[in-house]
Structure formats: structure tokens, C-alpha cells
Chains A and B, each alone.
Chain A
Amino acid sequence: MLEVRGLQSGYRHSTVLQGVDLDLADGRVLGLLGRNGVGKTTLVNTLMGLVRASAGTVRVDGRDLAGRRPDVVARAGVAVVPQGRRVWAPLTVTEHLDLASRRGRGRGPWDTGRVLELLPRLGERLRHGAGQLSGGEQQMLAIARALLTNPRLVLMDEPSDGLAPAVVDAIGRVVVGMKAEGVTLLVVEQDLHLAFAVADEIAVMQKGRIVHRCPTAEFRSDSTVAHRLLGVA
């Protein structure tokens, strides 16, 4: 469902993505690993239209979305759970859910009731301001917000970032729940345990390109690859 070819993008004075090629089939979960600064977040933001692509194609179900605005990408069925959560601090949880449902209502299986079944903790915080929530709750709210657009593909950027291990486990269970519902996921992660727990395949980025890709089990069994590409034992 996702086909990326020769994708380049970056910021004013630097090109970060140097020609990314990537395929992701329906219902699959790809864990994207890489050291800091190799372009993982830039890739997510470029796929979502938050950073403008300078070359290449991004096809979702055959439609080229490279260089399109985020709202166009979102309406084509892509959602993002961004790095740092980026929830709207002045809004309550309910207001987040209402705003996120605005476009997605009736376009797929996800509605507020179903999202709160997957993320029951949010149900207890509906009247709270997003700025008052814990980091884990904010992450769950960011996931809920993405799901309520009824996406075909969800891009998650470091969902475990800054969270306690118990909360990371809870986030992992939510991701597995999303996968069970048939959501296609690209998960950028520094936490190998979380990536291994949720991903069907692992891809590794270096210097703005994807340099390695294999099934998760194969990646786990060959520690030399992780050591060589990520600098971990």
C-alpha cells in the first residue's frame, strides 16, 4: 500500500533524505531503526507532508502524495503519531477526540467508543486538559487522535520516547492491538525491545537512506547486524 521511491527532502540548507526506497504491504508493521540524525523523523515528516519532498515519489494505494500538504496526505488515509506527541495542550481529551473525528467519522472502523476500548485510560481523563496528562497518557492521546482519522497507514515516531518502561510496555500492547485491527504501521523506534515486540520487519537507516531490511526474527538472531548498523550489542 505504501511505495516510496528515491525520496529526497531536508531543510533550508541541508538535504537529509538522500533517496529513500521503501515498500510496506497492507496490514504489516515495519520497525524503522537508526542512530540519531540519520533522517528517521525527517522521513516520517516528509511522508506526512510536514516537510516538503524535493524529489521522488510517495505512493499510497497508487496515489502519489510526495510534496502534498498534510491535510491532503491525511485525507488519503495516512496519520501520524509525531515525535514529542504534539498534543494540543489547551484542549481537553474530549476536544481532541472530537476534532480528530471531524474528517474521519464514518470512514472506517474507528470511532470514539472503539478507540476508548483500546485506550481505556483516556476514558478516565476525558475532561482533563491535554497539558495536564502524563507523558504516557499524552502518547495514548496522540495515538487516539491518529486512529480517529480512520487511517490506512499510521506513522509512529518514537512512541516510547521519554516514557517509563511500564508505560512503554502499555504502548507496545496498544500497537499490537492496532496491528490486530489491520492497521498498517511504520514505527520509528530507538527502543529495540518495543520494535522487536511489534514489527514484522526491521529496516535500518543510515545517512538518509534505508540500508538494511529483513524480518524481525532474522534481525534479532544476527546481533552483528545490529552492532554494525546501530552500534548496539
Chain B
Amino acid sequence: MIEWFDSNLVSILNGFAVGSLLFILAVGLSIVFGMMDVLNLAHGALFLVGAYLAWSLLSGGATWGGFLAALGIAALVGLLAGGVLSVMTEPLARRPILDQALLTLGVSLVVAEVLSIVYGNDALSVGAPPGLAESVSFLGRSYPAYRLALIGVGLVLAVVVYVVVERTSVGALVRASVADREMVSAMGIDNRKVKVAVLGIGSMLATVAGVLGAPVYGARPGLDDTILILALVVVVIGGLGSVKGAFIGALVIGQVESLGRALLPDLASFILFGTLALVLVLRPRGLFGPRKLAGT
């Protein structure tokens, strides 16, 4: 066992790094879907926007200033994009979820095409900021410092999001909206404002994840689809609207993706979606999803 762990340590650490990134991406997607029934399929495109932003600011040489500026700009762009998406989906609020999903899919296609026109179709690599670009020794193995930092950022963010959602009045509003948003509205609270805020923050997390993920994945056409599918799998496994679910789901899928590709490369996709199917069969609402979904 210890021998197996030792020989696969790098893949396991990669799984945690991917899991961290997926958590940052999926928690927003999960809360927006769980709370507002908005399946934001533009989430992957927002990630890609963040990745290209990082390349734009770091391609001349990775600096901390450029990296932090990319994070700041990505956060602002994400907030704005979330606000725009919220306004766009509002007229469809009383229509089936699929209508809103199709709208956001359309937005996603347009954004991805514009990025492709602006940046071309080549895969662009992005360097990690100074001090994190090298490998360090970890448990006797050499491992990229940036990926270790990414695991740390994911953990810190998970704690912050958990505390906000589970321990504050804003979080109580989020959880109440996931459980039954009509009753929240019946308390005199305007759901549309809550939706703008939640979509804004969710989209901000997606663009920020794009910047954070850029030194790992780079920026390239098609990355939006790859990452969106992984995030959707995390959301379905974890359960809609659950921070805990997004965290556990991201860790599971991070390991499935990384270990699967390392140990059984031919079956990696099958293992990923097999895990999804297994959870859906055994627990259709996901590991931590609500018994009753909002709006049903």
C-alpha cells in the first residue's frame, strides 16, 4: 500500500491540484444552479477568459505584479459578466431550465469564438509567478511549487466559502434560497438581486480559476468545454447548492481524473463518467444535495 502510494504520489498530488481548481470553479456553478435553477453553461467560457487574461498579462514574462493584476482584472470581468448573464437570463426565469441553459450555451459559443479570433487556435502556455515556477522536494519527490500553492489556495478558499455559507446571515440566505427560494421571496426579499449577486460571485470564481489554472492548463480553444464538463460532473456528484458537496466532488473527480489517466489511460474517460453514473444510481440528488430542489 505504502509502496503504491509512494509510486503514485505525483499523480495523487496532481489530483489534489486539479481538485482545488475544480472546487473553485464548481462551487459557483453549483450554488447558482442550486439556488436559481440557472445552469450556467458559460462557466467554462469564463474560465477560458481568465486563462487568456493571464496569458495577456504574463506572456512577456511571469511577474507577481502581472499575476495579481490578472487575478484582479479577472475578478472584475467575472463580476460584470455574472451581472450581464443575470440580466440576460431574467426574462427566461419562468421558463424551463433548458431555455436558460441554451442561452448560456449560446453566450459560451460566442465568447469562445471571439477568444479564438483574438488569440488564434494555438495552445498558449503561461508561466507561474517567480518563486513558484520551480519544483520543490515534497515527501521525497520533486513537485512543481505552483501546484502545491494551488492546493493551498483551494483549501483556503474552501474554508472561506464554507464559513461564509454555513456561518453568516448571507450564507443563510443562500442556503434558504437553495432549499425554497419562493419562500425567501415571500419574506420580501427580491430574488433578482440575490441572483445578480450569486451569479456575479460565481462567475468571478470562474474567471479567477482561469487565471489560477493558466500555469497548469495554459490557454487554448476547447479548454472551456473540457473544464465545464469536469465542473458539471463535480456539481452532479456533490449535489446542487452544496459547498461541502462541491468540495468532496472536486477532490473525488480530481483524483479520478489524475490517477485514472496515470494508471489506466485508455479507460480514464470511462472511469470519470462511470463514477458519475455510480453516484447517480446510488444517490440521484448527489452526495450532499437537497432532498427538494428549489423551484420544484
A interface residues with partner B (beta carbon < 8 Å): 48-50, 69-71, 73-75, 79-80, 82, 86-91, 95, 98-100, 102-104, 145, 149
Q: How far is the CB of A133 from chain B (nearest CB, A)?
A: 14
Q: State the CA gap A98–B180 with chains docked (Å).
A: 16
| Chain B interface category by residue count | 20 to 34
The answer to whether residues A88 and B188 also contact, given A50-B182, A99-B169 and a CB cut-off of 8 A, is no
Residues of A within 8 A of B180 (CB): 86, 88
B290 close to A90 (CB less than 8 A): yes
| Partner pick for B190 among A71, A90, A104, A149, CB 8 A cutoff | A71
**B178 (CB) vs chain A CBs: closest residue:** A90
B169/A98 in contact, CB under 8 A: yes
Known contacts: A95-B172, A99-B172. The answer to whether A74 contacts B187 by CB under 8 A is yes
Asked whether, in the complex, the Cβ of A71 is within 8 Å of the Cβ of B189, the reply is yes
**Does B185 have its Cβ within 8 Å of any Cβ on chain A?**
yes
Measured between beta carbons, the chain A residues less than 8 angstroms from B185 are: 49, 69-71, 74
Q: How far is the CB of B140 from chain A (nearest CB, A)?
A: 43
Apart from A90-B176, A90-B178, A98-B169, 7 more pairs, CB < 8 Å = A73-B186, A80-B186, A86-B182, A95-B172, A103-B187, A103-B188, A149-B187
Cα distance A84–B180 when bound, in Å? 12
6 contacts between A and B (CB under 8 A): A70-B182, A80-B186, A90-B176, A95-B176, A99-B187, A102-B189
Cross-chain contact B179 with A103 (CB below 8 angstroms): no
Query: Which of A48, A71, A149 counts the most B-chain CB atoms under 10 A from its CB?
Result: A71
- Verify A75–B188 contact, CB threshold 8 A: yes
B183 contact from A86, A95, A103, Cβ within 8 A: A86
Among residues of A, the one whose C-beta sits closest to the C-beta of B189 is: A71
Query: In chain B, what residue has the closest Cβ to A92?
Result: B172
8 nearest CB pairs, A to B: A103-B188, A74-B188, A70-B185, A88-B179, A88-B176, A95-B172, A70-B186, A75-B188
CA of A145 to CA of B189, assembled, Å: 13
What chain B residues lie within 8 Å of A102 (beta carbons)? 169, 187-189
Inter-subunit contact B188/A104 (CB<8 Å): yes
Residues on the B chain within 8 Å of A69, using CB: 185, 190-191
Query: Which residues of B are found within 8 Å of A100, using beta-carbon distances?
Result: 187
Shortest beta-carbon distance, A1 to chain B, in Å?
18
Q: Return chain A residues, CB-CB under 8 Å to B187.
A: 71, 74, 99-100, 102-103, 145, 149
Given A71-B191, A89-B291: A99 touches B186 (CB 8 Å cut-off) = no
B residues near A91, Cβ cutoff 8 Å: 172, 175-176, 179
Complex alpha-carbon distance, A74 and B187, angstroms: 6
Q: Which residues of B contact A73 (CB under 8 A)?
A: 186
Is B173 interfacial (CB 8 A cutoff)?
yes
Q: For the complex, is B111 an interface residue (Cβ under 8 Å from A)?
A: no
A79-B186 in contact (CB<8A)? yes
State whether the Cβ of B184 lies closer than 8 Å to any Cβ in chain A. Answer: yes
- A122 CA to B188 CA, complexed, in Å: 22
Residues of A within 8 A of B189 (CB): 71, 102-103
A130 closest partner in B (C-beta): B179
Q: Mark B175-219, 1 if CB is under 8 A from A, else 0.
A: 110111011111111110000000000000000000000000000
A98 and B187 alpha carbons, distance in the complex (Å): 11
The residue on B at minimum CB distance from A74 is: B188
Residues from chain A with a CB closer than 8 A to the CB of B176 are 88, 90-91, 95, 99
B67 to chain A, nearest CB (A): 37
B290 to chain A, nearest CB (A): 7
Chain A residues with CB under 8 Å of B173's CB are: 99
Cα–Cα, bound, A69→B94 (Å):
12
Chain B neighbourhood of A98, CB < 8 A? 169, 172
Q: How many angstroms between the C-alpha atoms of A191 and B175 in the bound complex?
A: 33
Closest to B183 in A: A86
A186 smallest CB distance to B (angstroms): 15
**Smallest CB gap from B190: residue in A:** A71
Q: How distant is the Cα of A88 from the Cα of B172 in the complex, in angstroms?
A: 10
> In the complex, A104 Cα to B187 Cα: how many Å?
8
Closest to A100 in B: B187
Closest approach, in angstroms, between the C-beta of A97 and any C-beta of chain B?
10
A149 touches B182 (CB 8 A): no
Q: Which of B169, B175, B190 contacts A88 (CB 8 A)?
A: B175
Q: Is the CB of A50 within 8 A of B172?
A: no
- Distance, CA A79 to CA B291, complexed state (A): 25
Assess whether B186 is in contact with A89, with CB atoms less than 8 Å apart: no
B178 surroundings in chain A (CB, below 8 A) = 90
The answer to whether A99 and B184 touch across the interface, beta carbons within 8 angstroms, is: yes
Q: Evaluate contact between B188 and A71: CB separation under 8 angstroms.
A: yes
Chain A residues near B179 (CB-CB < 8 A):
88-91
Let me know if B183 and A88 touch, CB within 8 A: yes
A19–B162 alpha-carbon span in the complex (Å): 49
